[in-house]
């Protein structure tokens, strides 16, 4: 399959990443089928897309005509049978290998023979996930950055069985969706998260060991290295459950103690303090202004 053969894109998961992928795909002229088992999450995802498009119009990034054209391209559903006519399906569910494995087992019976499967995993082995499908040669990692409409990068990861035609086709699709594809090898967490997550984890250790408060750590990094967000703010934005999942993947996959998740990160996730999406993490987001929780 060439990139010109791709007309309809399926997206599994209507959360932050899935809705963002659907957004940029529709803005790039593709018909999109956005699927989530939770109808309420689907409604939230579509509301998020509309909000993002409205903001882009306000900022002059897109025209109102482009916004009006993009929205009707997105249809929604709650079953895998919705993907029968899709040319590629991009999985963007939670960063949990068991969940993703079950998704792929449920998905492939509904796909046409030529369809490509991609995963937005931020850390899990592409080769291992591909082995759970009937088409490992047409399976590829397509890791978008968050927030998807604003970030230029898409990491492209081959599994050991991924064929060259699939890799080239999906890389070109990334370009047509307005992203810059960067190839990465199939090692735990790939490039960005291999570098970023240990830094965030070290910030949590810095808090855990009492070197600085939440506010001091974030202010120091913003002022000292000109990061737009402090590391603890960024961890909250990403989701502490996602940060912990990636650190566990690195720790287990590379067997190196330097990737050991900070116990405080684990404790916050166990408490349900997942960051912005739960209303509380290293900051409390229930008021008008975020307040450090430590």
Catalytic one of 19, 143, 171, 233: 143
Q: One of 155, 171, 201, 233 is an active-site residue; which one?
A: 155
Of the residues 19, 52, 171, 193, only one is catalytic, namely 193
Closest CA to 92 of 39, 137, 33, 27: 33
For residue 275 the two structure tokens come to 């960051």
Render 192-257 in DSSP notation, one character per residue: HHHHHHHHHHHHHHHHHTTSS-HHHHHHHHHHHH--SS-HHHHHHHH-HHHHHHHHHHHHHHH--G
CB distance 186 to 160 below 8 Å: yes
Look up 40 and say whether it is catalytic.
no
- How big, in percent rounded to 5, are the helix, strand and coil portions of the chain? 50, 15, 35
d(CA 206, CA 37): 39
Task: Please work out, in degrees rounded to the nearest 5, the angle formed at the alpha carbon of residue 258 by the alpha carbons of 256 and 260.
Answer: 85
Task: Quote the strand ranges of the chain, DSSP E.
Answer: 8-12, 31-35, 74-77, 88-91, 116-119, 139-144, 153-158, 180-184, 283-284, 291-292
Active site annotation includes 122: yes
Per the residue annotation, which of 122, 125, 171, 201 is the catalytic one?
122
DSSP state of 286: S
Q: Is 143 a catalytic residue?
A: yes
Distance CA 6, CA 169 (A): 9
Residue 171 falls in the annotated catalytic set: no
The residues annotated with a catalytic role in the active site are: 122, 143, 155, 193
């Amino acid at each position: 399959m060439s990139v010109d053969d791709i007309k309809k894109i399926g997206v599994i998961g209507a959360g932050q990443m899935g809705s963002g992928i659907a957004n940029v795909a529709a803005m790039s002229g593709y018909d999109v089928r956005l699927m989530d088992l939770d109808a309420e999450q689907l409604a939230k995802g579509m509301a998020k897309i509309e909000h993002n498009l409205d903001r882009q119009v306000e900022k002059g990034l897109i025209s109102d005509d482009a916004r009006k054209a993009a929205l009707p391209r997105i249809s929604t559903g709650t079953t895998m049978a919705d993907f029968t006519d899709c040319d590629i399906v991009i999985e963007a569910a939670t960063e949990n290998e068991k969940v993703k494995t079950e998704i792929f087992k449920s998905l492939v019976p509904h796909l046409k023979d030529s369809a490509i499967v991609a995963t937005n995993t931020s850390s899990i082995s592409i080769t291992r996930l591909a082995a759970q499908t009937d088409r490992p040669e047409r399976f590829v990692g397509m890791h978008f950055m968050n927030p998807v409409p604003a970030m230029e990068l898409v990491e492209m990861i081959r599994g050991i069985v991924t064929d060259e035609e699939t890799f080239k086709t999906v890389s070109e699709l990334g370009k047509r969706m307005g992203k810059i594809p960067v190839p990465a090898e199939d090692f735990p967490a790939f490039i960005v998260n291999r570098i970023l997550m240990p830094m965030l984890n070290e910030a949590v250790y810095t808090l855990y060991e009492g070197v600085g408060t939440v506010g001091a750590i974030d202010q120091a990094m913003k002022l000292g290295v000109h990061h737009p967000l402090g590391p603890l703010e960024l961890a909250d934005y990403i989701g502490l459950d996602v940060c912990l999942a990636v650190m566990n993947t690195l720790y287990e996959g590379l067997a190196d103690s330097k990737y050991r998740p900070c116990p405080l990160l684990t404790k916050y996730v166990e408490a349900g303090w997942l960051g912005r999406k739960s209303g509380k993490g290293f900051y409390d987001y229930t008021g008008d202004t975020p307040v450090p929780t430590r």
